Structure 1
Amino acid sequence: MSQFDLANTRQRDRATLRQSMGRREWIAGVAAAAGTVALPYHRVAAESSDDKGYIDAHVHVWTPDTKTYPLDHRYDVSAMQPPSFTPKQLLQLAEPLGVSRIVLIQMSFYGFDNSYMLDAIANHPGRFSGVAVIDPNDHPVETMKSLKAKGVRGFRIVSGKSDPDTWLSGEGMKKMWACAADESMAICPLINPEYLPSVDKMCQRYPETAVVIDHFARIGIDGSVHARDLDALCRLAEHRHTHVKTSAFYALGKKAAPYTDLGAMIHRLAHAYGSDRLMWATDCPYQVQAGHTYHDSLDLIRFKLDFLTERDRSWMLRKTAEKVFFA
């Protein structure tokens, strides 16, 4: 994911989780994940909160065709694990469970070249929205407007190992936040909890900018949900355009289905933000590796958390992502 993904720390976490699956193992894993669907498609779809289907707000896709879509100079094919995760492979997992639309997140393998994601959006009209990665120091406003016309609705920013006090201080980054507000697009930080105060300051400076925090700000990646981190994430709820992705369950807390140990954190966030500012996502293909399944991720929100009302589920499983990424 790129930044659970672009960041070096994320790549170490992934290496552990994916257990070095080869191509044959990956194909078998996809088949096994698809095989977990216990109900026929029409019945699963009927159980969704409305007839428009669910939205998975965070997925990465890539292709083994590195001639047509070259990798960024920082990567080679050995980094592509699994070797392939195309829109076709993705939809084979998502559609049988009633997921009708998906937000694609630019994959770090491609750097600032968003071509593969953009082609996926163009080739599946109405099915995908996009979150791009751009160079904040290379005409960011012009680039953002151009990508908006091609189906992009958000821009991923990654802290990496930057100084928490200065990583958002550049002029290009300021232009991105201002443009996002002007163009009704979102800034999507992939960060660890120690970067939340810096995002808070930017939200104060750009109060009309929509912000979507990826993967609970990685709270729980070490196995424990620390109160100070959750407090910091909840403080961002004071800014009315901030949102949180309840996602990447495979990588957080106990890192084991049914993921109900994350329920207390979701309950706290639902109270702070309201369900209309939370959105569910899988972070595929990583959600369907190492014994984890697409089905289990979706079912945590659909069935496993009794405190969520039907209205809550409707917002988390479709309406919030629709508002931010498909409007």
Structure 2
Amino acid sequence: MSQTDQDHARQGNRFTRRAWMARTAAAGVAGAAGMAHRTVTAQADDSQADDSQADDSQASDPAPSDAKGYIDAHVHVWTPDTKSYPLDDRYDVSAMQPASFTPEQLLRLAEPSGVRRIVLIQMSFYGFDNSYMLDVIEKHPGRFSGVAVIDPDDRPAETMKALKSKGVRGFRIVSGKRDPDRWLSGDGMKKMWACAADESLAICPLINPEYLPSVDKMCQQYPQTPVVIDHFARIGIDGTIGQRDLDALCRLAEHQQTHVKTSAFYALGKKAAPYTDLGPMIHRLAHAFGSDRLMWATDCPYQVQGGHTYHDSIDLIRYKLDFLTNRDRSWMLQKTAEKVFFT
């Protein structure tokens, strides 16, 4: 885990790393022309009152389904106070770009867009020490949920249960450059997947597309384990949407506990707002998974660097994709993340 987590953040802004740029195939997405004005319906239980009353019209200004607001399902925070929260031995302050991204800085960006709750992802700077994320969760009751990083070889089930009591609802696993056929084969990883099933905790793989088959196999072995794939499995990082890669991601939809984050738009495809070139991929995923298994996220602070903005990210889902109904938007912007990370 430490080696792959190091690979995740050491080289700066993650989605611009050269090591990721040659990962996806150079084929286009078939059937893209059929995306416009098609309705994507969530595969949710229509017996729920709030869902059955949802407006399926194509409104120009969709609002959150309740006063709790939207949920950003993937954000990193850190503090310049490295005395109180020391960095992992693999990092020094030069890796912290920007030097500070605190909850206060984050909320100033998120709240104007109607985002009230946020899923925090443990930052690699801190290694297996989740203290800063846990303190943020504790200081802002109900506002944040957490995805932790732990050592799979150090009593993972006990650690996962302890962190659950402190507001953690998911656990990030990072493939790095390990063997795609072996990175999930260890006993500790198997214990993590089993505990996640028992405790309704999400396993959150940060992977390139070539690791999707290994995740598929684990989903077959642990069908009750909630799984959330980060950032489309990085499909489109090289500027193209590989059909074979997208097929592999969509095959995970056969497992009812799998979900996908539609996130990190700044780093995929054309890498430019309004990001509508990602529409065909989102359209395909919405049909495969249903919008009730997709969740929007920014991946801040990286989404707000290099001329990209917070509102450009959320506006892709709110306004720019005609095939999404208000019901779809409600799931992607709030209810899917709420179901997985805030229950």
- Counterpart code for 1:8: D
Ranked by relative contact order (alpha carbons within 8 Å, sequence separation 6 or more), the top structure is 2
In structure 1, C-alpha distance between the alignment counterparts of 2:307 and 2:202, rounded to whole Å: 32
In structure 2, C-alpha distance between the alignment counterparts of 1:8 and 1:302, rounded to whole Å: 33
Contact 2:8 2:14 in 1 (8 A): no
1:306 corresponds to: 322
Q: Could you tell me the TM-score, scaled by structure 2's length?
A: 0.84
2:102 corresponds to: 86
Unpaired stretches in structure 2, ≥5 consecutive residues: 18-59
In structure 2, C-alpha distance between the alignment counterparts of 1:51 and 1:146, rounded to whole Å: 31
2:199 corresponds to: 183
Correspondence 1:240 to 2:252: no
Shift of 1:7: 5.6
Correspondence 1:229 to 2:245: yes
In structure 1, C-alpha distance between the alignment counterparts of 2:123 and 2:324, rounded to whole Å: 32
Correspondence 1:194 to 2:193: no
Report 1:47-58 matches (<5 A): 47-58=63-74
1:39 corresponds to: none
- Counterpart code for 1:167: W
Correspondence 1:106 to 2:127: no
Q: 3-state DSSP class of the match of 1:194?
A: helix
1:249 corresponds to: 265
Q: 3-state DSSP class of the match of 2:274?
A: coil
Contact 1:132 1:152 in 2 (8 A): yes
Deviation string, structure 1 residues 156-212 (Cα, Å, up to 9, x no partner): 000000000000000000000000000010000000000000000000000000000
Shift of 1:51: 2.6
Shift of 1:96: 1.4
1:8 corresponds to: 7
From the superposition, tell whether residues 323 and 9 of structure 1 become closer, same or farther in structure 2 (CA, over 3 Å).
Answer: closer
1:147 corresponds to: 163
Deviation string, structure 1 residues 64-123 (Cα, Å, up to 9, x no partner): 000000000000000000000000000011111110000000000000000000000000
In structure 2, C-alpha distance between the alignment counterparts of 1:203 and 1:185, rounded to whole Å: 14
Contact 2:12 2:97 in 1 (8 A): no
Correspondence 1:296 to 2:295: no
2:296 corresponds to: 280
In structure 2, C-alpha distance between the alignment counterparts of 1:75 and 1:186, rounded to whole Å: 27
- Counterpart code for 1:315: W
Unpaired stretches in structure 1, ≥5 consecutive residues: 19-43
Identity %: 81
- Counterpart code for 1:319: K
Contact 1:53 1:98 in 2 (8 A): yes
In structure 2, C-alpha distance between the alignment counterparts of 1:260 and 1:229, rounded to whole Å: 19
Q: 3-state DSSP class of the match of 2:5?
A: coil
From the superposition, tell whether residues 149 and 16 of structure 1 become closer, same or farther in structure 2 (CA, over 3 Å).
Answer: closer
Correspondence 1:260 to 2:276: yes
Q: 3-state DSSP class of the match of 2:13?
A: helix
Contact 2:70 2:333 in 1 (8 A): yes
Shift of 1:52: 2.1
In structure 2, C-alpha distance between the alignment counterparts of 1:227 and 1:250, rounded to whole Å: 20
Shift of 1:14: 1.8
In structure 1, C-alpha distance between the alignment counterparts of 2:92 and 2:134, rounded to whole Å: 21
Paired residue total: 300
In structure 1, C-alpha distance between the alignment counterparts of 2:196 and 2:14, rounded to whole Å: 33
2:174 corresponds to: 158
Return the structure number with greater helix share: 1
From the superposition, tell whether residues 10 and 70 of structure 1 become closer, same or farther in structure 2 (CA, over 3 Å).
Answer: closer
In structure 2, C-alpha distance between the alignment counterparts of 1:118 and 1:261, rounded to whole Å: 37
